Structure 1
Amino acid sequence: MGKLFLVASFISLLMADCEPNIENDKRVIIKGEIVDSQANPIQAIEVTSSVEEYVLGKTMSNADGSFEMVAPESYDQSFLIAINVDAENNYTSAKIYRDEDEIGRPKIYDLGVVTLRPTSNFTLTTTRNSTTSDHINVQINYLATSCVYDFNNGLQEDPSQCYEENYISETTNEINSNLDLQLEVIRDIPLQITYQIDEEPATTIEVTPNQQNFMYEIFY
């Protein structure tokens, strides 16, 4: 019986160590305004505060782009404020972390104006219509659709994690002679596409998705 009690106590301690530090009896205010790159307000954008997988608060932006919510406080280092976290509604996303070394733990998070950029659903397809070409390799260089900020009496953009350069590379084979690549990218920002057919010299082109849904096709 004593051994079972010790095991149960040990498991309880492990679970307590794993749980995030949430102060349910303390509250913080999170507020700001969401606009697009033309300074127009954006409505119905989700804003959440969370610790790890625990959502502490959730709200939506109003018709004038403003939002405000009251949520439990957390002293956990993973405390996160996320705006449009999944880059939905055809806009980019923003993630805000607390710079505790500089400001401690504020009671009011006034984010000010947060700018989201419009996105495009980009699709690149390749179609084989040659009897002599064997395969094609395609690489797309693009910018990611999220930006990370530190909160230090206002938002401080983290240059190393804001709309980072990214790429995807795929090659056809005997089973799949065509490619269908789909990406969410920042609208009106050029993409660099490099493709190589068999052992021929690589070709690089620039494509600018300027619509909500944008398709580009390569024949080989």
Structure 2
Amino acid sequence: MAKFKGLLLLFILFLLQCEVPFENNARLLIKGQIVDENNQPISNSQINVFVRRDENFLYNSDPSNEDSGVLLGGTTSDIDGTFSLITLLGKDEDFVIEVYGGEDFSKYMYRTNTETYIPDDYLIDLETISLPKKAFFEFNIIRSSPAGTELQYNFNYTSIPCLEVYEDGVLNEVETACYKQMNRGRFLDDERPDASGDFLSFLGANVIFTYSINDQPEVVEVLTIDDINFEFNFNY
């Protein structure tokens, strides 16, 4: 019997720990507008508000997946891309607003700590959120020159999605990871003369391709992604 009471007490404590505290039943107004890379509105975008949300869900393309976190509320954007949502003010270090424009678009996440910060006038205005169309950049690098020819190459590109972290209403640039610049490259020689691969960026983005053959001066090319399935072939 004592063992049963102990287990019951542990279960009650677990429930209390899982309960999300709220700020005197206060409400937040969250609003903004969602547009694409051409500044055109995106309608029917899903906007969800969570507490205790795992940061990894920035990369999850399914907004209905609520296995991690407590959903406080949600809405969709109007035909002009605008939205407004009234939700409870959950007190949590991971208060998250997720904006999901669909499979074709990038994803946006706003995160702040509502345990230490209450937004002015109980308002979070995300203003204009740009969700560019996703694009896959595929590359194939083939050696057509004689054996012994070596190549050093690098792609500099803009990654998606976008996570913005705010502290007391101010953007934390250190923790923010929004459309970061990434690099991908390697050295090719007789052991490995060819290379292929792909990465995810967005439509209209520039990719900087830099290469050097046999330690000659670097050559720089600017490649603009003009198709959602962009293919780049290079022979050296």
In the superposition, the TM-score normalised over structure 2's length comes to 0.67
Aligned residues: 213
Structure 1 residue 177: Cα displacement: 6.2
Could you list the runs of 5+ residues in structure 1 that have no partner in the other structure?
none
Match of 1:194 in 2: 210
SS of the equivalent of 2:9 reads helix
Please give the per-residue CA displacement for 1:85-137, whole angstroms capped at 9, x wherever unaligned: 8x8423x4332223655645864433233233444321112234456258765
- Aligned-pair distance for 1:59? 2.7
Contact 1:22 1:72 in 2 (8 A): no
- Distance in 2 between the 1:20 and 1:195 partners? 55
Structure 2 residue 154 is the aligned partner of structure 1 residue 139: yes
Other-structure match for 2:195: 179
- The Cα offsets for residues 11-31 of structure 1, whole Å up to 9 and x where unpaired, read as 6535643x3625496653322
Q: Cα distance, 1:193 vs. partner?
A: 2.4
Counterparts of 1:185 and 1:30, CA distance in 2: 28
Structural RMSD (CA) = 3.8
Q: C-alpha separation between the residues in 2 aligned to 1:61 and 1:157?
A: 24
Choose from 120, 124, 128 the match for 2:135: 120
Alignment of 1:139-178 (within 5 A): 139-145=154-160, 146-148=162-164, 150=166, 158-160=172-174, 161=176, 162-170=178-186, 178=194
Letter in 1 for 2:32: G
CA contact (8 A) 1:94 1:149 kept: no
Structure 1 residues 58 and 151, CA gap change in structure 2 (3 angstroms): farther
Output one character per residue of 1:138-174: Cα deviation in whole Å (capped at 9) or x when no partner: 4322122225153867xx6554533222223456799
- Cα distance in 1 for partners of 2:78, 2:155 equals 36
1:98 to 87, 108, 112: 112
User: What's the CA shift for 1:76?
Assistant: 0.6
**Separation in structure 1 between the aligned mates of residue 113 and residue 14 of structure 2, nearest angstrom:** 28
2:39 paired residue number? 39
Instruction: Output the amino acid matched with 1:94.
Output: Y
Alpha-carbon separation, structure 1, partners of 2:2 and 2:91: 35
Change (3 A) 1:73 1:174: farther
